[in-house]
Amino acid sequence: MKSIAALPKGRTERVIFFGTPEIAVGPLRALVAAGFVVDLVVTGVDKRRGRGSQTSPSPVKETALELQLPVSHDVADAIALVTENRTNSASEAHRYLGVVVAYGHIISTEALQVLPMINIHYSLLPRWRGAAPVERALLAGDEQTGVCIMQVVEQLDAGDILKSATTQISQTDTTASLRARLGEIATPLLIDVLSTGVSTTKPQDGDVVVAAKITHVDLEIDWSKPATFVDRQVRVGGAFTFFNDKRFKIHSLKVSAEIFISESGNMMVVNDRVLVACGQGVVELVAVQPEGKPRVSAQDWKKGARLDTQSRLGS
């Protein structure tokens, strides 16, 4: 069986970029700003976003068009470009490197055999291989995470590591803030790899932990859990519960120092603050969103909620 294409030993001159969401925009802009020639951007297809039937391009496609870069939705176009280039030129300066950042699709074996590829992965591999490494690190209560520049191989997120860096996870970090910081850390590593080439690689070492996609099961709050866990669910984003049998989103809260003995999920108003009992500890609601209504502060919500000693959250 044909092996995957070897990574370049020297500076990369021409790039094919694979990426789709907002987190991939920064690396694409950085490559162009650093003077690398991006001959093709491969991204997810246009999707319907919001109401209506009109579709809109991915954040990466919007950026590529702004930068006047060729765009495709098909990996086959990348294969064809590399194959044609190798046929027409024997110069090492025209060798391509694929840069993958949250592309969202499995890269085919055929593509890996003709195009060497590296990937920015937002975790300290092999912990949190998979679709949701940032969210899983937060939800698990990890004290640190990081970013790895790794070789793309056939097995998901299993390639050798070229560069890596770590960052601490604070008790106020959200998915958005952690992603932003990881993006800032990743960019200079990526530029360094493309500028100097790949001289050494390091196999992943440690126990493999899979970062499965976040689902509603992960985000529905179980008030019997400790307050610290509920806080992490909310910081991941999209956490919800139920109030009077209607879906009730919680956008932000904080772990409270208050202590009151009550059944998990029961609410209590103390000094104009809405407190909720957890299995261990108490949280204070900060920003909430009742079903079918806009986001409001918990203080404003409670004014019309008619809370009493029987009021509780949960299904």
CA–CA gap between residue 219 and residue 227 (Å, rounded): 14
Classify residue 142: in a domain, yes or no.
yes
Q: Assess if residue 152 is contained within a domain.
A: yes
Domain boundary among 166, 184, 211: 211
Give the domain CATH number at 24.
Answer: 3.40.50.170
pLDDT by residue for the chain (315 residues), tens digit each? 579 999 999 999 899 999 999 999 999 999 999 999 999 999 999 887 666 678 899 999 999 999 999 999 999 999 999 998 876 655 544 579 999 999 989 899 999 999 999 999 999 999 999 999 999 999 999 999 999 999 999 999 999 999 999 999 999 999 999 999 999 999 999 999 999 999 889 999 999 999 999 999 999 999 999 999 999 999 999 999 999 999 999 999 999 998 877 899 999 999 999 999 999 999 999 999 999 999 999 999 999 898 988 999 998
Q: Is residue 4 in a domain? A: no
Q: Are 58 and 196 members of one domain? A: yes
Order of all β-strands in the sheet with 117-121: 71-72, 37-42, 14-19, 96-101, 117-121, 144-151, 161-168
**Residue range(s) defining the domain that contains residue 279:** 216-305
Which of 305, 250, 299, 303 is closest to 278 using CA atoms? 250
The burial class, CB within 10 Å (0-12 / 13-18 / 19+), for 239 is: buried
For residue 126, is it within any domain?
yes
Same domain, 193 and 243: no
| Tally of domains in the chain | 2
Instruction: Please identify, among 157, 190, 211, the residue that sits at the C-terminal boundary of a domain.
Output: 211
Pairing of β 273-277 and β 282-290: antiparallel
In this structure, the answer to whether residues 252 and 109 fall within a common structural domain is no
Q: At what angle do helices 175-196 and 25-33 cross, to 10 degrees?
A: 30
Give the domain-ending residue among 166, 194, 211: 211
User: Is 285 a member of any domain?
Assistant: yes
Whether residue 160 is found in the same domain as residue 229: no
155, 50: one domain: yes
Do the beta carbons of residue 253 and residue 283 sit within 8 Å? Answer: yes
Assess whether 207 and 236 both reside in one domain: no
Residues 66 and 189 in one domain: yes
> Domain check: are 87 and 226 in the same one?
no
Alpha-carbon distance values, 208 to 95, 125, 129 (Å): 33, 8, 7
C-alpha distance from residue 280 to each of 35, 146, 286, 315 (Å): 54, 30, 19, 19
226 and 190, same structural domain? no
Could you tell me if 154 and 50 lie in one domain?
A: yes
The DSSP bridge partners found for residue 99 are: 17, 118
